[in-house]
Structure 1
Amino acid sequence: MVDTLPTRHTGPASNARRSVPDVPGTAPAAARRSRRHGALPPLVSVLLALTAWYAVSYLVLSEDRRFLLPPPHRVLTHSLLDPLTLGTMLRALAVTAQVALLGLFLAAVLGVAAAVLMSQSRAIERVVYPYAVVLQVVPVLAIVPLIGLWFGYGLPARTIVCVLIAFFPVVSMTLFGLQSVDRDLHDLFTLGRAGRWRRLLSLQLPAALPSVITSLRTAAGLSVTGAVIGDMFFAQGQAGIGTLLDTYRARLQSEDLIAAILLAALLGVAVFSVFTVVQRL
């Protein structure tokens, strides 16, 4: 009996068919082209910003006033490439990062806990939520002197400033996530006779996780801002990047001032980017 089933070719011809290179218009080639085009706008924007910076330094400011905005290459050579100056800034930046991360952690713990309590009791929400709103709308600079009188002028006061600034986004967005669970899912848990805590742990918290991560991404940038503000007002203890900013401003060290601002901005971008990656995962 003759076997009429088709045979699978595994020779060079088959391998050649499987290893056909990508041609324009196919998905892999289009993806690579999209990545290249996606990196182009940020590069162009950076070049335009540097061009505008040079234009202001050399065309707008006279030579005797150029210290107000020194050109980028002076900031690079006089500050960022000077080992002594850069080392001082990095040590101060490490102190600011430590305060910002500690404040973010405390704000996350307190904010999620408060949101969970408010989601379980309407009475607690009516009592607690207005205070969270007050913390958001009152300028933090208005209560900084009071924080200094109560808690001193060291690292604890700086951390409290971070918590106050980062607390409200965590509370509001986490509470929104907990209260936005589909009503049909609640009915399903009711049919299963699930208790309050079972419903919270198995339904509400998992459903609210995207909102929690988004709130942490927002609070991360605010925490860095709070750490820099705390450095500027509470100068006791280890110097943070905000302390150096205030010192450089008083001494008219424009190159060092701009370099410190850039490092502080990079810290905020780095923390924000970490939570952006976590949110995508």
Structure 2
Amino acid sequence: MATVIGSPATSAPAKRPTARRSLASRMSWWQPVAVFAVLIGIWYTVAWYYDKVQELSFLVPYPHKVFESLFLDAKRRPDLFEAIGNTTAVMLTGLVIAIVIGMTWAVIMSQAKWAERSLFPYAVILQCVPILALVPLIGSLYGYGFPSRVIVTTMIALFPLVSNTLFGLQSADRAQRELFKLQGASRWTVLTKLQFPAALPLIFVGLRNAAGLSVIGAIVGDQFFQRGAGGLGVLIQLYNSRLQGSDTFATIIAASLLGVVVFLVFGLLGRLAIGKWYDFN
């Protein structure tokens, strides 16, 4: 006897993979927790070694001491919050400048092959130039305060925006490009109606990567430009020079958490902007 299409006999198996995927997603929380527990165990082992064997406990403090310094030490909390605020200001300023320059750069290259061949090598060179070698020159030209920190942050965060935006703009379907040309669409129409919508997934990936790199750039700038309002990099260097291991590790973790927060914010923005059309993870 023929089976009727859409009957329970044929539709029920199709739902099982979805159910299994949802169950797996609900149970996947324990995997990062297990890795975290293993890492904490390794940290305690290394800290015990430096404390009991090497008698250099300030080099690798115990995790609970770092936790106390990060969350429970009220005396150092104002300095930490001030440093986070200063680093965030540098990071956001450099990131905004990198977004403007990077996306403009990519749009220009996407309009003609000769422009891409002429300009993209310099983006690669910028990525390969050792920023630390340029730090003394940047300090001599622009001083050792906020502007120099922003320049370093922009240079470090720029390449992911250029490369991802360019490749995203070039990923538009060729048949759709030809259709736009047949309709007599202008370059601006093709850019705004076809290329940018197709490039959004890669643009947001570039934004997430650049956001994390901008935090690194702000801290690197702090490490070398000691004047003006100090951020997390200055605080790390200060605690390290005083052999305050717990405070040093706590500040490093605070810097890492700042980078994670910025990364997650741009990931959320990406899901809100394009989550209905793309699988944006």
Normalised to the residue count of structure 2, the TM-score between the two structures is 0.86
Query: Could you tell me which of 28, 33, 36 is aligned with 1:43?
Result: 33
Q: Is 1:62 matched up with 2:90?
A: no
Letter in 2 for 1:189: F
Q: Is 1:225 matched up with 2:216?
A: yes
Q: Return the alpha-carbon distance in structure 2 between the equivalents of residues 124 and 92 of structure 1.
A: 42
Q: Which runs of 5+ in 1 are unaligned?
A: 1-24
Shift of 1:101: 1.3
Q: Show CA shifts across 1:31-80 (max 9, x none).
A: 77434421101111111111111111224542621121111122223453
Q: Return the alpha-carbon distance in structure 2 between the equivalents of residues 75 and 209 of structure 1.
A: 40
Aligned to 1:100: 91
Q: For residues 84 and 131 of structure 1, do their structure 2 counterparts lie closer, same or farther at Cα, with a shift above 3 Å needed?
A: same
Normalised to the residue count of structure 1, the TM-score between the two structures is 0.86
Q: Show CA shifts across 1:1-50 (max 9, x none).
A: xxxxxxxxxxxxxxxxxxxxxxxx98998677434421101111111111
2:50 and 2:60 in contact (8 A); partners too = no
Shift of 1:260: 0.2
Shift of 1:197: 1.3
Q: For residues 33 and 186 of structure 1, do their structure 2 counterparts lie closer, same or farther at Cα, with a shift above 3 Å needed?
A: closer
**Runs of 4+ displaced beyond 3 Å:** 25-36
Q: Which runs of 5+ in 2 are unaligned?
A: 1-14, 273-281
Q: Show CA shifts across 1:122-168 (max 9, x none).
A: 33323322221111001111111111111111111111111101111
Aligned to 1:22: none
| SS of residue paired to 2:96 | helix
Q: Is 1:81 matched up with 2:72?
A: yes
Letter in 1 for 2:123: A
Q: Show CA shifts across 1:231-280 (max 9, x none).
A: 11111111100000111111111010000000000011111111222223
Shift of 1:208: 1.0
Q: Return the alpha-carbon distance in structure 2 between the equivalents of residues 119 and 77 of structure 1.
A: 51
Q: Return the alpha-carbon distance in structure 1 between the equivalents of residues 187 and 235 of structure 2.
A: 51
Q: Return the alpha-carbon distance in structure 1 between the equivalents of residues 229 and 207 of structure 2.
A: 27
Aligned to 2:254: 263
Q: Show CA shifts across 1:166-190 (max 9, x none).
A: 1111111111111121110011111
Aligned to 1:21: none
Superposed, which structure 2 residues align to 1:200-211 within 5 Å? 200-211=191-202
2:221 and 2:233 in contact (8 A); partners too = yes
Shift of 1:219: 0.7
Letter in 1 for 2:28: G
Query: Could you tell me which of 121, 135, 142 is aligned with 1:144?
Result: 135
Greater Rg by CA:
1
| SS of residue paired to 1:239 | coil
Aligned to 1:272: 263
Q: Show CA shifts across 1:193-249 (max 9, x none).
A: 111111111111111111111111111111110000011111111110000011111
Q: For residues 32 and 110 of structure 1, do their structure 2 counterparts lie closer, same or farther at Cα, with a shift above 3 Å needed?
A: same
The count of aligned residue pairs is: 257
Q: Return the alpha-carbon distance in structure 2 between the equivalents of residues 116 and 59 of structure 1.
A: 54
2:150 and 2:218 in contact (8 A); partners too = yes
Aligned to 1:13: none
Aligned to 2:9: none
Q: Return the alpha-carbon distance in structure 2 between the equivalents of residues 102 and 272 of structure 1.
A: 16
Q: Is 1:164 matched up with 2:175?
A: no
2:145 and 2:226 in contact (8 A); partners too = yes
How much identity, in percent, do the aligned residues show? Answer: 46
Q: Return the alpha-carbon distance in structure 1 between the equivalents of residues 124 and 17 of structure 2.
A: 48
Letter in 2 for 1:49: L
| SS of residue paired to 1:67 | coil
Q: Is 1:112 matched up with 2:122?
A: no
Superposed, which structure 2 residues align to 1:235-250 within 5 Å? 235-250=226-241
